Amino acid sequence: MKTKFLFIPLFFLIQAVFAVSLLGQSIEEFIDSGDKYYKEFKNEKALEVFQKADVEFPDNWEIMWRISRCYVDIGEHLPTSTSEQEDAQFAKYELALEYADKSVSLAPDQSVTYLRRAIANGRIALFKGVFSVADVVEMVRMDCEKAIELNNGGNDIQGVVHYVLGRTHDKISDKWAPARSVLGLGWADIDSALVHYEKAVQLKPNFVMIYLDYARANIEESKYEKARELLNKAIESPIEDEDDEVRKEEAKALLEEIKDE
C-alpha cells in the first residue's frame, strides 16, 4: 500500500510536467504557423490560426498583438467604394485596437504591444481624418515614445516604432502650426519626422515603405539628392510587405519626377 501511495502522486507529477511542456510547444506552434501565413501575405489564414490560439490559450499577449496586426492588414485591403464597405473597414480597425489594448494590458513592459496600439490608432486617425481626432493622434505619439523608452523587441520593432512616430510628425506638420497648436498638436514638426525616419532606416534597413515615406518627406523639403538616394534604396529592397510591389512603382515614378531637380 505504501508503494502504491507514493506512485500515484509521482504519476500525476510526471503528467503535469508533460502537460506544461505540451502547452509551451503548442503556443509556439500556433505562433510559428500564424507567422508563416502572415509572411506569405495570407492575413485571413493567419488570423484564423491566432484566433484558435486565443481559444486554446486565452490572455496570451503575443497572440493578442498578432491578432491586432491581422485586423489592421485585413482592414487596409478591404474595398471602400460604399459607406457599408467603409464601415466594415473601420470595424476591423476597431477590433485591431481592442486586441492591441489587451496586449498592452497583459504586457505593459513590451515595446511591440505599444507599437501595435499606435498602428491601430493611426489607422483610425487616418480613417477619420487626423485633425478631427487629436486625442487619438496624441495616443499614437505617446505609445511610440513609450515603446522607444522600453527599447526591447529587437531592431525590427524599434525601427518600425521610429517610422510610425516619424510619419506621425510628418502628417501632422502639414497643417499650419498655429492651427495645430489649438488642437494640441503643436509638438509635430518636419525636423523630428526626418530624425525618426533616419533612425528607422538605420534600425530596419531594406524596408520599402520606410524608404518611400522618408523620400517623400525629403522631397517636401527640397532635399532632392537625399530623396533620390532613398528612392533607389526602395527600388532595390526585397519584398517584405504585400504592397511593396506597388510602392516600388511609386518610387520609380517619383524618381522620374525629380530627376532634374
pLDDT number for residue 183: 87
pLDDT number for residue 25: 52
Grid coordinates in use for 85?
464597405
pLDDT number for residue 121: 98
pLDDT number for residue 176: 77
Question: Distance between CA atoms of 159 and 197, rounded to whole angstroms?
Answer: 9
**CA 144-153-230 angle, 5° bins:** 65
Residue 166 near residue 196 (C-beta atoms within 8 A) = yes
Max CA separation in the chain (angstroms): 93
Residue-wise pLDDT tens for the chain (261 aa)? Answer: 444 444 345 444 434 443 343 344 589 999 999 999 999 999 999 999 999 999 999 999 999 999 999 999 999 999 999 999 999 999 999 999 999 999 999 999 999 999 999 999 999 999 999 889 999 999 999 999 999 999 999 999 999 999 999 999 999 998 878 888 888 999 999 999 999 999 999 999 999 999 999 999 999 999 999 999 999 999 999 999 999 999 999 999 999 999 999
Residue 64 near residue 105 (C-beta atoms within 8 A) = no
| Contact residues for 38 (Cβ-Cβ < 8 A; gap 6+) | 46, 66, 69, 70, 73
Q: What is the pTM of this model?
A: 0.89
- What's the number of CA atoms in the CB half-sphere (13 Å) around residue 66? 29
